[in-house]
Amino acid sequence: MGLQLRLDVVGGISGDMFIAAMADCFPQYRRDFYNFTKKLAIPGLRVSVRAERGGVVRGSFLDLRYSRCDLVSYRDFDRFLRARKISTEEISIARGILRKLAQAEARVHSCDVLDVHFHEIADWDTVVDCLLTAYWINKIKPSSMSLGCDLPIGLGIIETSHGAIPVPSPATTELLKDYRFRFNSEKGEAITPTGAAIIASFFNDGPTRLGRLVRSGCGYGTRLPKNPSNFCRITIFREDVDFFRAGVATDTVGVVTAEVDDQTPEDLSIAVDLLRRLPFVLSVSTWTGLGKKGRPVFRVEMLCLPDSLGLAIEALFCETSTIGLRYQVLDRSVLTRAGGRLANGVDVYRYKESTLPNGTKRRKIENDCLKGVSGFENRNRLREKAGKRK
């Protein structure tokens, strides 16, 4: 049974805060965590996790101490990560986070990734954050990671080596494009570039099916006690296999719905046929009803791949006369299925076989195969024959 990780960014997030929340969530691994830090061979590194009671809820705070760092460029930091005496999985995760950050900085400064110089984070802090995050991700191995709320955008101006810039920083905005944000009244940087790189590397912005809540932990930042809500929370869920029994698979789909009352049925049928042909569309259904002022209305509902929700919205606007629609991402359960062939004399018909949760199997002939069979009774006999299993 896999573990699902849910992140709530309440007041903000940095690498330190994420690591503190994970340590708070899994205190049983604290000794192993400290042993891991000793393998990193970072000059003067001392790591401690202490209880934080000055916030709105109990949590943990990560205290890092280290000697001076002479590395500046992404090339040097990446070379340093590759030389660590830890598992290849941990190195790969840490390098992936740092690479995300470097790519964002390269876009901001219009330079090659290998030429990026981390002026603001040219210290051990970011590298340590990448390595300690890699430890927790590799240790827990969550089956899914998702955000539980919109991200705080921060407020005000911060001073950097390039001068004064608004928050969030340019690198953070590059990393978190397409994520949802909310306004917050606390002045300062809510999300650091390293925190943004962690989110962009692992966390999706949509809902995911959750199992049983088994534990939670909070990680605080350095703005306490000025901001008692400057924390992030992690909740861990265990997939409930007893609920989703054998034979039932789960996935996520995008749903786009619109009402159309000023498009002719003939043209709408063309539009629906064109929508069904799109590679990211799973199905399109229509219903008739009464809308505003008693006018006849068609309801169009389209299921699509969740990653293509934006394309599906654009397509529905383009192919229909609607000026407004609704969309969401939903979890669904589907029966596992397999294909087969049924011989009937000289003819062969394709069928689908589904497995019910109780183990029973159900067969249905493909509807397209019955188009050449005349007579209602003849088609029904074929359906019944397919349903009889040897």
User: What pLDDT sits at residue 186?
Assistant: 80
Tell me: do 341 and 327 sit in the same domain. Answer: no
Which residues of the chain carry a pLDDT beneath 70? 1, 119-122, 161-162, 205-209, 224-227, 240-249, 345-346, 348, 386-390
Give the β-pairing of 157-160 and 163-166.
antiparallel
Structural domain includes residue 193: yes
Alpha carbon distance 192, 183 (integer Å): 16
**Cβ neighbours for 346, distance < 8 A, ≥ 6 positions apart:** none
Burial of 278 (0-12, 13-18, 19+ CB in 10 A): middle
**Cβ neighbours for 353, distance < 8 A, ≥ 6 positions apart:** 337, 338, 339, 340, 361, 362, 363
Long-range contacts, 25-31 (Cβ 8 Å, 24+)? 25/215, 25/216, 25/217, 25/234, 25/236, 26/136, 26/139, 26/140, 26/215, 26/217, 29/139
Structural domain includes residue 129: yes
Alpha carbon distance 256, 284 (integer Å): 10
User: What pLDDT sits at residue 330?
Assistant: 82
Tell me: do 282 and 151 sit in the same domain. Answer: no
Alpha carbon distance 386, 351 (integer Å): 7
pLDDT tens digit string along 44-75? 999 999 998 777 889 999 999 998 888 778 88
User: What pLDDT sits at residue 21?
Assistant: 97
Tell me: do 167 and 178 sit in the same domain. Answer: yes
User: What pLDDT sits at residue 325?
Assistant: 93
Alpha carbon distance 82, 84 (integer Å): 6
The secondary structure element, H or E, covering residue 195 is helix 193-202
Q: Record the pTM.
A: 0.65
User: What pLDDT sits at residue 246?
Assistant: 55
Structural domain includes residue 82: yes
User: What pLDDT sits at residue 24?
Assistant: 95
Structural domain includes residue 165: yes
pLDDT tens digit string along 81-119? 999 999 999 999 999 999 999 999 899 888 888 888 775
Which of residues 238, 267, 291 is at a domain's end?
A: 238
Find how far residue 217's CA is from the centre of its chain: 20
Find how far residue 304's CA is from the centre of its chain: 17
Structural domain includes residue 368: yes
User: What pLDDT sits at residue 346?
Assistant: 58
Which of residues 180, 211, 238 is at a domain's end?
A: 238
For the chain, the straight-line distance linking the first and the last C-alpha, in angstroms and rounded, comes to 35
Which of residues 217, 238, 259 is at a domain's end?
A: 238
Contact 94, 50 (CB under 8 A): no
Structural domain includes residue 163: yes
Tell me: do 228 and 284 sit in the same domain. Answer: no
Tell me: do 47 and 102 sit in the same domain. Answer: yes
**Cβ neighbours for 316, distance < 8 A, ≥ 6 positions apart:** 256, 258, 275, 300, 302, 322, 325
Tell me: do 135 and 19 sit in the same domain. Answer: yes
User: What pLDDT sits at residue 390?
Assistant: 45
Structural domain includes residue 189: yes
Find the domain containing 266 and state its range.
248-334
Tell me: do 350 and 382 sit in the same domain. Answer: yes
Tell me: do 330 and 370 sit in the same domain. Answer: no
User: What pLDDT sits at residue 373?
Assistant: 78
What is the count of structural domains for the chain? 3
Q: Which CATH number do you get for residue 301?
A: 3.30.70.1380
CA torsion 193→195→201→203, rounded to 10°?
Answer: -140
Tell me: do 272 and 352 sit in the same domain. Answer: no
Tell me: do 259 and 140 sit in the same domain. Answer: no
Give the β-pairing of 3-9 and 144-147.
parallel
Joined together, the tokens standing for residue 298 give 């068609």
Tell me: do 92 and 157 sit in the same domain. Answer: yes
User: What pLDDT sits at residue 173?
Assistant: 95
Structural domain includes residue 243: no
Alpha carbon distance 219, 18 (integer Å): 6
In a 3-state reduction of DSSP, which class is residue 131? helix
Tell me: do 63 and 212 sit in the same domain. Answer: yes
Alpha carbon distance 59, 168 (integer Å): 25
